[in-house]
Copies of this chain bind each other. A is one copy, B any other.
Amino acid sequence: MPFAELVALLTRIFLGQGLPERTAQVLATNCATCQRDGGFSHGVFRIPAYVSTLQSGWGNPQALPVIEDDGGTLIRVDAQGGFAQVALDEARPLLRARVEAQGVAVLAIRNSQHFSALWPDVEPFAEEGLVALSVVNSMAVVVPPGGKTPVFGTNPMAFACPRAGQAPYVWDQASSALAHGDVQIAAREGHRLAPGTGVDAEGRPTDDPGAILNGGALLPFGGHKGASIAMTIEILSAAFTGGAFSTEVDWSQHPGAKIPLTGQFLLVADPDRGGDLGFAQRVAALSDTVRDAGQDRLPGDRRQRLRAESAAKGVPLSQADLDMLNGYL
């Protein structure tokens, strides 16, 4: 399906769930973008969970984000229980203006639901020549090293910056050793996991995806170093923004798909502020250096390839996807 057609279809589905026009457009574009670029776990696969959550009244689909602007470079937004992407969309013009005026600014979103990939939040800034770094926390499914009680979310971090003559350099990675969805896939397909992926219900290291899913938990990537990053993402996404920690998400009244209400931190900076240092050219040169040194694939390469394929042949959708989507119309 052509990208624009998929966006229109998803927008209709969201409007049908009672979302305001702008909210429906933002979520539809985000979801279609993930599907287009091969991020299928954040693509149309998520529509039933969106619908379940919206119908259940968990969170606040009618939320209109409230921007708290005191004229500085730290802009706070109360998402009012709505989706973080909508809060970012609402605050973007002010954030851009503040970066233009000052060189660096931060957006701190709280009371927000983030139910998608993080890279779509940062990539557009890189396309405008800016550097963006964002982190978001979620629900506690990751134990600290040596622990048995989950305290961190899969807590992704994403980074984007311009790269002359190439697509922006963009990455988005969980601070858990593996994405939760990949553990579910391994369990379904009967695969064992790499050492260091997770622990069982007793806190013992395990390579059994079933043990991780049944009372166990994931570990941070990269041992203690990854744990520092996971904890810092909690601090920036929740303590700094005023959002909930991953352990504080209150599921007691939760009726729909599990979408945590937490926070998001986003730093945007202008690399050309103070004179042209050839930033985008140097990032391109560094990318070439890293490829020449032997790293076959840089973050984002696969996404770019699939995006080009989608542009040429349409966004891939299975018959089951189509049937599911049409069922909501």
Q: Which residues of A contact B (CB under 8 A)?
A: 68, 70, 72-74, 76, 101-106, 108, 131, 143-151, 159, 161, 169, 171, 173, 203, 221-229, 231-232, 234-236, 238-242, 245, 247, 267, 269-271, 273-274, 277, 279, 282-283, 286, 289-290, 292-296, 298-299
Partner of A239, one of B146, B225, B283: B283
By a CB distance below 8 angstroms, the chain B residues around A267 are 104, 267
How many angstroms between the C-alpha atoms of A171 and B226 in the bound complex? Answer: 12
By a CB distance below 8 angstroms, the chain B residues around A227 are 295
Contact at A240–B148, with CB atoms within 8 Å?
A: no
Least distance between A103 CB and chain B CB atoms (Å): 3
How many angstroms between the C-alpha atoms of A135 and B161 in the bound complex? Answer: 16
> Closest chain B residue to A279 by CB distance?
B239
Contact at B76–A145, with CB atoms within 8 Å?
A: no
How many angstroms between the C-alpha atoms of A76 and B283 in the bound complex? Answer: 19
> Closest chain B residue to A68 by CB distance?
B274
Contact at A286–B235, with CB atoms within 8 Å?
A: yes
Contact at A104–B146, with CB atoms within 8 Å?
A: no
Contact at A274–B74, with CB atoms within 8 Å?
A: yes
Contact at A148–B293, with CB atoms within 8 Å?
A: yes
By a CB distance below 8 angstroms, the chain B residues around A144 are 290, 293-295
Q: 20 new A-B pairs (CB below 8 Å) besides A74-B102, A144-B294?
A: A68-B274, A72-B101, A73-B73, A73-B102, A74-B274, A103-B106, A143-B293, A145-B295, A146-B295, A146-B296, A147-B294, A151-B286, A151-B290, A171-B232, A221-B225, A222-B223, A222-B226, A227-B295, A235-B286, A240-B279
By a CB distance below 8 angstroms, the chain B residues around A74 are 102-104, 269-270, 273-274
Contact at B169–A235, with CB atoms within 8 Å?
A: yes
By a CB distance below 8 angstroms, the chain B residues around A108 are 274
By a CB distance below 8 angstroms, the chain B residues around A221 are 222-223, 225-226
By a CB distance below 8 angstroms, the chain B residues around A169 are 231, 235
By a CB distance below 8 angstroms, the chain B residues around A102 are 72-74, 102
By a CB distance below 8 angstroms, the chain B residues around A299 are 224, 228
